[in-house]
Amino acid sequence: MDQTKYAIIVAGGSGVRMGSKIPKQFLEMKGKPVIMHTLEAFYRYSPDIQQILVLPDQHIDHWQQITEQHRFDIPITLQSGGDSRFQSVSKGLGLIQTPGLVAIHDGVRPVISRQLIQRSYETAAQHGSAVAAIALRDSIRIMEKDSSRAADRSQYRLVQTPQTFDVNKLKEAYQLGEQDHFTDDASVWEAAGNHVTLYQGDNQNIKITTFHDLVLAEVLLKFI
């Protein structure tokens, strides 16, 4: 039997790095805010996914304005975020009361294909966790005090989202509390003693952090 599917879309960035007053999740690509492209991608994959959008408190008014302006009518649940990504995801998880699978996805990764979403839920259904990862295309070096040294790039993977998990086990992991080194959900999951299963991510699935990324993402949207 199919498990209930949830998606928590985290959009907590302040836009500072972008040199823009508008937080990057609200910048427009093809006449529509980045975050709406992201939510639509999950909706197109399956309208049955229960989507939770986590936004910082101070952006909620803006969100409500733009949903009217763009006549955005995909059903989502809005949740105000916390001070960190950990806290934002934690608040999103707090809204989920039934078992299932939850995909955590960066709001600023709008170039997400059906295939990637499918791979994420299917891998998590089978293994309990599913973390998108891609091989390195460049050489990599390890920084040391005043120096650096070459490392073997085949031993590394770059991590993306969606990161998808069994809801109840992820909630348990979040209950153990925040640690400084948590940069994603895989690290929270792992700190609770769970095995992280990787699946093949997608080079196109870029995170928009600069103006160039926005331009690139707009081009990449044609290919998904």
Q: For a second copy, which residue of 50, 88, 160, 194 counts as binding (CB under 8 A)?
A: 160
Contact track, a second copy, 166-185, x by CB under 8 A: ---------------x-xx-
* Cis-peptide, bond into residue 110, ω within 30° of zero: no
The answer to whether 216 contacts a second copy (rule: CB under 8 A) is yes
- Interacting span for a second copy (CB under 8 A) from 8-16, 19-27, 58-66, 146-154: 146-154
Q: What gap in Å lies between CA 7 and CA 121, rounded to an integer? A: 10
For residue 12, give the amino acid letter.
G
The answer to whether 27 contacts a second copy (rule: CB under 8 A) is no
**Continuous segment of H or E residues that includes residue 28:** strand 28-29
**Residues in 79-138 at the binding interface with a second copy, rule: CB under 8 A:** 131, 133, 136-138
Q: How far is the CB of 161 from a second copy (least distance, A)?
A: 9
Query: What are the residues whose beta carbons fall under 8 Å from the beta carbon of 183, sequence distance 6 or more?
Result: 85
Q: For a second copy, which residue of 48, 57, 73, 152 counts as binding (CB under 8 A)?
A: 152
The answer to whether 221 contacts a second copy (rule: CB under 8 A) is no
Q: What gap in Å lies between CA 128 and CA 147, rounded to an integer? A: 40
Q: What gap in Å lies between CA 140 and CA 165, rounded to an integer? A: 29
